[in-house]
């Protein structure tokens, strides 16, 4: 990475490198923006940002994935307007940092990421959090404030009304552990996973367009449901919800049913994991997928095919779409020794059906964001 930095900016002296991970969400999908529960884990796929202070008042940001350099005046960055460009993510973070009392100094930045973009593994939050650390350049910040500030950048500047999950797990990820997040209290607990299972993400290679209207529609439909019912969806048990479901218009009812049952599934999944009930964990993942497919309607034929195919392969406990939907990845829970056969079979079935090779990402629960190293 430093060699690239040198080629780009002439010297990498004094460079500091910050890392922020992507994530896979095991269960609790589309529940974070209604104060619900989620169970993601940080991945070893991550975004790195290398940074060196610059003497000329400019803020330069280069993405190795985009092979594109953009320049801004550091003094004027706090007044920036969205450009509907990938730089909106780091620039939005700079704007929020300035607002929070952390003005951004002139610097040269290099972004390098192994998180696939637009695939539901949260390259956006990884980019935001890694950029924030680079802009902070060692200035201390409360980790929860860091996550919230990055979420505000995506909501206010990028214009995506996202919940807190992605930024939160990128900051609070823990090696060898999933993290259950309460998106109302913003507290969390670490959930160690049974050792006899592993998870893998499978990329449908269909890029979602999350910024599209469907996500915003779901956010609005959930708000309408909570408004009609007079309480946050996360405070309703499935039984309580069913007794009042008839009060809602049909589409809103289905959206709310997904959220209410999904919150219950998170608690059940955590409990089943603690008890080592692998079969139940798998079933809950499949129920989650069906709910996203039929009630929330954020799946697509490629994701459904990957889930259905996974369930027919030996050693698989469960599978579901992960992330916002409309493409991106599924996550599958399976026996570790079943992985090679799973990979072969899912690849050949998907190739035969869609003429595309899906990419697999074995999921290793990893640590949250931080400074990677301070090279001399």
Provide the sign of the torsion angle of the four alpha carbons 242, 248, 251, 257, taken in this order. negative
Interaction of residue 124 with Mg ion, rule CB under 5 A = yes
Q: Which two tokens stand for residue 119?
A: 């695939």
Copy the structure tokens of residue 224.
């309408």
Nearer to ligand ADP, 159 or 375 (CB): 159
Catalytic residue among 88, 166, 268, 295: 166
CB of 136 to Mg ion, least distance (A): 21
Active site residue 166: yes
* Least distance between ligand ADP and beta carbon 283 (Å): 26
Q: Name the one residue in this structure whose structure tokens are 């915003």.
A: 216
By CB under 5 A, residue 167 contacts Mg ion: no
Q: Which does 297 bind (CB under 5 to 8 A by kind): ligand ADP, Mg ion, none?
A: none
Residue carrying structure tokens 């309408």: 224
Distance of closest approach, residue 331 Cβ to ligand ADP, in angstroms: 13
Asked if residues 74 and 84 have their Cβ atoms less than 8 Å apart, the reply is no
Question: Which residue, 148 or 234, is less far from ligand ADP as judged by CB?
Answer: 148
CA 366 – CA 376 distance, rounded (Å): 26
How, if at all, do strands 58-63 and 107-113 pair? parallel
Short-list 54, 46, 6, 2, CA closest to 24 = 46
Query: Helix or strand or coil: residue 312?
Result: coil
Q: Which is nearer to ligand ADP, 110 or 256 (CB)?
A: 110
Indicate whether 63 belongs to the interface with Mg ion (CB under 5 A): no
SS3 113: strand
What is the contact surface with ligand ADP in residues (CB under 6 A)?
47, 63, 65-66, 86, 89, 111, 113, 117-124, 127, 210, 323
**CB proximity list for 229: less than 8 A, separation 6 or greater:** 236, 244, 247, 248, 256
Whether the Cβ atoms of residue 72 and residue 56 lie closer than 8 Å to each other? no
C-beta of 164 vs 313, nearer to ligand ADP: 164
Stretch that binds Mg ion, among 116-124, 169-177, 248-256, 358-366 (CB under 5 A): 116-124
For residue 374, give every residue at least 6 positions away whose Cβ sits within 8 Å of its Cβ, in sequence order, or none. 16
Residue 111: which of Mg ion, ligand ADP, none does it interact with, CB under 5 to 8 A by kind? ligand ADP
Report the nearest approach of ligand ADP to the CB of residue 210 (Å). Answer: 4
Cβ neighbors of 256 (< 8 A, separation 6 or more) are 221, 222, 225, 226, 229, 233, 241, 245, 248
Q: Rank residues 300 and 339 by Cβ distance to ligand ADP and give the closer one.
A: 300
Stretch of residues binding Mg ion (CB under 5 A), selected from 33-41, 78-86, 124-132, 141-149: 124-132
CB of 241: closest distance to ligand ADP in angstroms? 29
Instruction: Indicate which of ligand ADP, Mg ion, none lies near residue 31 (CB less than 5 to 8 Å, by partner kind).
Output: none
The entry of Mg ion, ligand ADP, none near residue 17 (CB within 5 to 8 angstroms by kind) is none
Q: Which does 343 bind (CB under 5 to 8 A by kind): Mg ion, ligand ADP, none?
A: none
Which residue's CB is nearer to ligand ADP, number 54 or number 65?
Answer: 65
The gap between the terminal CA atoms of the chain, to the nearest Å, is 14
Which residues lie near Mg ion (CB under 5 A)?
122, 124
Provide the annotated active-site residues: 166
């Amino acid at each position: 990475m430093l060699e690239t930095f040198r080629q780009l900016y002439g010297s990498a002296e004094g460079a500091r490198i910050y890392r922020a991970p992507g994530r896979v969400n095991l269960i609790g999908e589309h529940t974070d923006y209604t104060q619900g529960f989620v169970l993601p884990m940080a991945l070893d796929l991550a975004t790195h940002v290398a940074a060196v202070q610059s003497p000329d008042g400019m803020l330069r940001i280069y993405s190795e994935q985009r092979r594109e350099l953009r320049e801004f005046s550091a003094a004027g960055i706090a007044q920036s307007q969205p450009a509907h460009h990938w730089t909106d993510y780091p620039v939005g973070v700079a704007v929020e940092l300035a607002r929070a009392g952390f003005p951004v100094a002139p610097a040269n930045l290099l972004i390098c990421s192994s998180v696939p973009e637009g695939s539901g593994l949260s390259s956006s939050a990884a980019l935001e959090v890694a950029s924030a650390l680079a802009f902070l350049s060692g200035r201390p910040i409360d980790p929860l404030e860091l996550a919230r500030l990055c979420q505000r950048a995506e909501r206010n500047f990028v214009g995506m009304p996202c919940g807190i999950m992605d930024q939160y797990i990128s900051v609070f990820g823990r090696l060898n552990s999933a993290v259950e997040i309460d998106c109302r209290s913003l507290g969390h607990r670490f959930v160690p996973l049974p050792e006899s299972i592993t998870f893998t993400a499978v990329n449908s290679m269909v890029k979602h367009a999350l910024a599209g209207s469907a996500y915003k529609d779901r956010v609005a439909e959930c708000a309408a449901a909570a408004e009609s019912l007079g309480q946050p969806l996360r405070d309703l048990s499935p039984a309580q919800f069913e007794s009042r479901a008839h009060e809602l218009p049909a589409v809103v009812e289905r959206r709310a049913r997904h959220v209410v049952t999904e919150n219950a599934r998170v608690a059940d999944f955590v409990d089943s994991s603690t008890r080592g009930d692998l079969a139940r964990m798998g079933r809950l993942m499949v129920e989650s997928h069906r709910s996203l497919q039929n009630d929330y309607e954020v799946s697509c034929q490629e994701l459904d095919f990957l889930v259905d195919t996974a369930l027919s392969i030996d050693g698989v406990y469960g599978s579901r779409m992960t992330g916002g939907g409309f493409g991106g990845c599924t996550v599958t829970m399976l026996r570790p020794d079943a992985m090679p056969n799973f990979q072969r079979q899912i690849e050949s079935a998907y190739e035969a059906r869609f003429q595309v090779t899906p990419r697999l990402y074995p999921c290793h629960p990893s640590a949250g964001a931080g400074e990677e190293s301070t090279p001399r």
